[in-house]
Amino acid sequence: MKNLNLKSIPKNKKYEPNTLYRINSGEEVLFEELHDESDGKQKHKEIVRLKYILEDKQYGIYAKEYRNVLFVKDDMKKADILACVVDDKNKRIHSFIMDVKSNISAFSDDLYKNDALITVIKEVRDFINQLADEKVSKDGIFYLYKSEGYNEEETFGIVTKSFEKNKFLDASEMIETVLNRNGNLNDLSFLKFYNSLKPYKSEIKKLRDFSKQKITICDRQFDLNVFLLSNIDEYISEASIEICIS
């Protein structure tokens, strides 16, 4: 079988976006992302430690913000992390597609306030679209492997400071309540609210599933693995994830 064109780990451990790297046993890869703080004075850093645990005849693959070059750049969203283990001995693959969201649950508890509902709808929708597009790019890598009889296990995940399930469930129920016209359509404020949510009726199920850590990608439902960031100090948070074949 033809081999993938994988680059060696750079000596400075600075990984270029959209590049596939070969990871050997015992290697640890750091993904780092900076976000602006609300005060605008200090950036907050999220660090994800990917710990590759490999056995005989296994090797790892890593890419950040990977997009298959066959697709037009503006047509494909990219997830932050693509990590894989390939087992040539047993013809198995375990792929991990993950995105880092500083705090996916940061929208207001008052769902009537500051377009909180629209915010959560778009954040969840865009996040799922990122993972779906990354899966399409990833599937192009492993097409030849699967034609040779390799089986793949897929893991999808979010890395975030907080994942408050009830907030997503509450959002789905409120959208459903409003769109069922449980309010006074003669009230201009309610009518405006109703009209703003009307285009998002199809997102109700996505939010409800999301609250149960379920997502639908390419017409298949997957578990959503949640990896929580822990604070190292005021401006740095970190999560560690084992990349292996179970």
Mean pLDDT by 10 residues, the chain (246 residues): 83 92 91 75 87 95 90 83 96 97 82 81 94 95 92 97 93 89 68 86 94 96 97 93 94
Q: What is the pLDDT of residues 100-130, one digit of tens each?
A: 998 888 787 777 776 888 999 999 999 999 9
Residue 12 lies in a domain: no
H helical segments located in 14-164 = 116-141, 143-147
Residue 84 lies in a domain: yes
Q: Is residue 199 classed exposed, middle or buried when 0-12, 13-18 and 19+ CB atoms within 10 A define those classes?
A: exposed
CA gap 94, 153 in Å, rounded: 5
Residue 1 lies in a domain: no
Distance from CA of residue 116 to its chain's centroid? 21
Q: In the prediction, which pLDDT does 109 show?
A: 74
Residue 188 lies in a domain: yes
Q: In the prediction, which pLDDT does 26 show?
A: 80
CA gap 136, 132 in Å, rounded: 7
Q: In the prediction, which pLDDT does 181 show?
A: 76
Residue numbers of the domain that contains 43? 21-243
Give the chain's domain count: 1
Residue 89 lies in a domain: yes
Residue 6 lies in a domain: no
The C-alpha torsion from 99 through 102 and 107 to 108, rounded to 10°, is 160
Q: In the prediction, which pLDDT does 185 show?
A: 53
Residue 3 lies in a domain: no
CA gap 42, 40 in Å, rounded: 6
Q: In the prediction, which pLDDT does 100 show?
A: 96
Q: In the prediction, which pLDDT does 39 show?
A: 56
Residue 11 lies in a domain: no
pTM over 0.85: yes
